[in-house]
Structure 1
Amino acid sequence: MPLELDVLGLVLLLLAGFTAGWVDAVVGGGGLIQLPALLLVPGISPVQALATNKVGSIMGTSVSALTYYRRVGPDLRTAAPMALAALVGAFGGAALAAQIPSELFTPIILVVLLAVAAWTIARPTIGAQTDLRWSGRGHHLAAAALGLGIGAYDGLLGPGTGTFLVISLVSVLGYAFLPASALAKIVNFATNAGALLFFVPHGAVLWGLGLALGAANLVGGYLGARMAVAKGSGFVRVVFLVVVLALIARLGWDVLSG
């Protein structure tokens, strides 16, 4: 079935891409906006939507990662092992994307997000400043393990990956929200690349749509990263809670609607 996208539909899709880029740059979770918008395109298959979403996302995460790197200077010794493991995990997750029904994961993710929201609200000082749990090899191994698991999720499903990265960097490794978001962008770039390494050879990407989405995502990502850097960890924490609650609402609706 050919795609049937009129001018208004394209404009709304690009607006979703811009908004997703902004949200992704600040705290992650732009896939909550962009992927459902793609799934509404008449004639698109779920795998095509997932693959095309990665093209848009990787363009947005590239510019936001670069902006964070220049202005925040995230620790590349943490980012490198985490990003490499995430790339491997995302490739594996993408390979399973057409085989495992997402409804198996939704209730589990919903419970985790509810716990994260409650924990973040109950501890208002969490993520205000960096207080690393480990140092040296233990820190890097923990980062790699987190990257592998979250990368697999990104390749398999996708929405909320940046948010899960920020959650893990703050709660498990002990980063403040702003450097956590900066590191998350580098790792998220790698997860998008890992998924595309699988999707592109299999012809799942709709390149025209993906590149148009990517341009909108890039602008949103640049503006979001600059705003996050200017306003600091407190602002990122507020946006983080809003995105987590939105994810809870979206996934809760999916569960209730069967």
Structure 2
Amino acid sequence: MMDLWLVVAASFLAGVMDAMVGGGGLVTVPALLSTYPSLPPSLLLGTNKCSSVFGTAVAATRYARRVKLDWAWLIPAALVAFAGSWLGAWTLTKTDPEFLRKLLPLILLFVLLYTLKHRQFGMLHSPMRTDRNRLLLAMGIGGIIGWYDGFFGPGTGSFFIFLLIRWLGVDFLHASASSKVLNASTNLAALILLAATGHVWWQAGLAMAAANIAGSVLGTSLALKHGALLVRRVFIVIVTLLVLKAGWQAYVA
């Protein structure tokens, strides 16, 4: 029972992080793997998706009530992200993702350095594209990062946020809110596939989901109260931790 409480606590913290800038898997996946080392990793990854899909869905709903989202491109992008995640999960059954493990810290480091160099990055909400181009770019983001989430996963929320700011010109708050809709879609696709193949431990997953929802409520409240500046600061911290963790796993451990 104590083991379950440990992963539930980790899921709460992950919910706070995910609701703001993503990166919750940085907490829950290591917690599950270290707490239940005898269980198959695929079962634990499916269980993690069970918890995160509820948290991201609740965060998306809360953001949608307070932040004006552009559904004209967000819904098509979410549908493409769903399909991309499903394809990525299928690709995982055919291909070893080891090459991404080596590449991930380098991509994250670029994201971090770019954000630090451009101090106004994500501080202004000023969509820069025409409606058609915005839609095509959003669908491209959904498809690419959706596939990545189904295939590998770490840093998905952060990648969504970075690309939405860089390519669509939204601020950190709108990017975080929009990324929750996209991430909920990718999580759902992966969960359906993993559940269908028996890779979800429902007892632990649903307990973690309740904690993840509570964390997402706190995280969205903080983001909505303090706006883009706080989200930017948390984003920098989380991406820095992701760079260190991914780099350690890829090149040291």
* TM, length-normalised to structure 2: 0.96
Choose from 231, 234, 238 the match for 1:236: 231
Q: Is the 8 A contact 2:102 2:251 kept in 1?
A: no
Q: Which runs of 5+ in 2 are unaligned?
A: none
Q: Is the 8 A contact 1:89 1:152 kept in 2?
A: yes
Residue 201 (structure 1) aligns with: 196
- Provide the rounded CA distance (Å) in 1 between the counterparts of 2:78 and 2:118: 28
Query: In the alignment, is residue 166 of structure 1 matched against residue 161 of structure 2?
Result: yes
Query: In the alignment, is residue 124 of structure 1 matched against residue 116 of structure 2?
Result: no
Question: How far off is 1:142 after superposition?
Answer: 0.6
Query: In the alignment, is residue 37 of structure 1 matched against residue 31 of structure 2?
Result: yes
- Provide the rounded CA distance (Å) in 2 between the counterparts of 1:135 and 1:226: 31
Residue 9 (structure 1) aligns with: 3
Note the 1:153-192 alignment, pairs <5 A.
153-192=148-187
Residue 4 (structure 1) aligns with: none
Query: In the alignment, is residue 110 of structure 1 matched against residue 105 of structure 2?
Result: yes
Q: Is the 8 A contact 1:50 1:157 kept in 2?
A: no
State the aligned residue count. Answer: 252
Q: Is the 8 A contact 1:35 1:159 kept in 2?
A: no
Q: Is the 8 A contact 1:47 1:97 kept in 2?
A: no
Note the 1:82-101 alignment, pairs <5 A.
82-101=77-96
1:115-146 deviation line (CA, Å, top 9, x unaligned):
11111111111111122231211110110011
Query: In the alignment, is residue 147 of structure 1 matched against residue 142 of structure 2?
Result: yes
1:197-226 deviation line (CA, Å, top 9, x unaligned):
211211111111110110110000011001
Counterpart of 2:78, as a letter, is A
Q: Is the 8 A contact 1:93 1:153 kept in 2?
A: yes
- Provide the rounded CA distance (Å) in 2 between the counterparts of 1:250 and 1:99: 26
Query: In the alignment, is residue 215 of structure 1 matched against residue 207 of structure 2?
Result: no
Question: How far off is 1:45 after superposition?
Answer: 1.2
- Which one is further off, 154-163 or 142-151? 154-163
Percent sequence identity is: 39
Note the 1:241-256 alignment, pairs <5 A.
241-256=236-251
Q: Is the 8 A contact 2:55 2:213 kept in 1?
A: yes
1:146-167 deviation line (CA, Å, top 9, x unaligned):
1011011111122211111101
Question: Judging changes above 3 Å, is the alpha-carbon distance between structure 1 residues 232 and 29 closer, same or farther for their aligned structure 2 residues?
Answer: same
- Provide the rounded CA distance (Å) in 1 between the counterparts of 2:128 and 2:246: 31
- Provide the rounded CA distance (Å) in 2 between the counterparts of 1:236 and 1:12: 27
Question: How far off is 1:257 after superposition?
Answer: 2.5
Question: How far off is 1:69 after superposition?
Answer: 0.5
- Which one is further off, 33-42 or 232-241? 33-42
Residue 21 (structure 2) aligns with: 27
Q: Is the 8 A contact 1:130 1:176 kept in 2?
A: yes
After TM superposition, the runs of 4+ consecutive aligned structure 1 residues lying more than 6 A away are none
Question: How far off is 1:46 after superposition?
Answer: 1.6
Query: In the alignment, is residue 64 of structure 1 matched against residue 34 of structure 2?
Result: no
Counterpart of 1:77, as a letter, is A
